[in-house]
Amino acid sequence: MRWALLSMLLVLGCGDDTRSPTRGSFDAGPGVDFGPGFDAGPGADLGPGVDGGGGFDGGPPAADVGLTFGGGCGPTFDGDVVVVRNSESIAVTSTAGGSVTGSVQLDLDGAGASETLSSQHRVDTGQVVNVITSTTWTNLAMDSGGVLGGTVADPIGGTLTIADYRPNDGVLDITFTGVTLQNPSDGTVCTVDGRLQTYRLSF
C-alpha cells in the first residue's frame, strides 16, 4: 500500500503546456478532469484505493499548511501530509481514511519574489497553482478564450509572495493573498489565503 500511495502522489503534478493563448486546449496537469477543451493528461486515482494510513513517513513534519480556503472548495490537511516532487511540480497532499482530503500543487519555475495571478499570467509564464479535493481548481479561467479575448472578466486573481522556492529540496515558503482559482468543470471559485511552508520531501 505504501508504494501504491507513492505512485499516486508522484503522478499528481502540474502541466505547463499553457504558454500560447491561441491553443485549442490547455494542459492543466495530470489527474484532473477539466471537461471538454482541456488536456488534463494521464489520470490519477484519488479514490479509496489510496493507502492514507500512517507509517509511510516516520520523520518530522514535512509541511505546515497554514492556508484557509473558501468559496467552492474545502480541502483539509488534518491527515497524513506528505510533500512529493516530480519532474514538473511539487505537491503537498493530505490523506485520511484511504483517500486524498486535500492537495496543493505548484509549478512556479521562473517565479520572482511576488507573482500576481491571472489567466494571462498562467499562459505567459506556464506557472501553475492547483487546489485538489475530488475535483480541481486552477489558475486558469474556465472560459479562457473569452478572458484572453477581453470579453469575459477573469475570475483568477490574487498574489503569491515567495520567500523560498526550492522544490528539488522540498522547501517552500509561500504566502497566498486573495488568491482565486476556478474549477474548469463547474465554474466554481476557490479562495486561498495564508502561508504554506514545507521543509523536506517525504520520499
Cα–Cα distance measured from residue 33 to residue 25, given in angstroms and rounded to the nearest whole number:
13
Phi, psi torsion values for 148, nearest 5 degrees: -70, -25
Distances (CA, A) of 75 to 93, 100, 177, 179: 10, 9, 17, 15
Instruction: State the pTM of this model.
Output: 0.77
Q: In a structure prediction context, what are the per-residue pLDDT tens digits for the chain, which is 203 residues long?
A: 444 444 455 445 444 333 334 333 444 444 444 333 343 333 333 333 333 344 445 567 899 999 999 999 999 999 999 999 998 899 999 999 889 999 999 999 999 999 999 999 999 999 999 999 999 999 999 999 999 999 999 999 999 999 999 999 999 999 999 999 999 999 999 999 999 999 999 98
- In this predicted structure, what is the pLDDT of residue 98? 85
Determine the pLDDT at residue 87.
Answer: 85
Residues 148-178: pLDDT tens digits?
Answer: 999 999 999 999 999 999 999 999 999 999 9
pLDDT given for residue 48 in this prediction: 33
Provide the pLDDT for residue 21: 42
Torsion region of 55: left, alpha or beta (phi above 0 gives left; psi -120 to 50 gives alpha): left
The number of residues making up the chain comes to 203
Residue 160 phi, psi (nearest 5): -105, 125
C-alpha cell belonging to residue 139: 489558475
Q: Select from 129, 191, 126, 182 the least CA-distant residue to 154.
A: 182
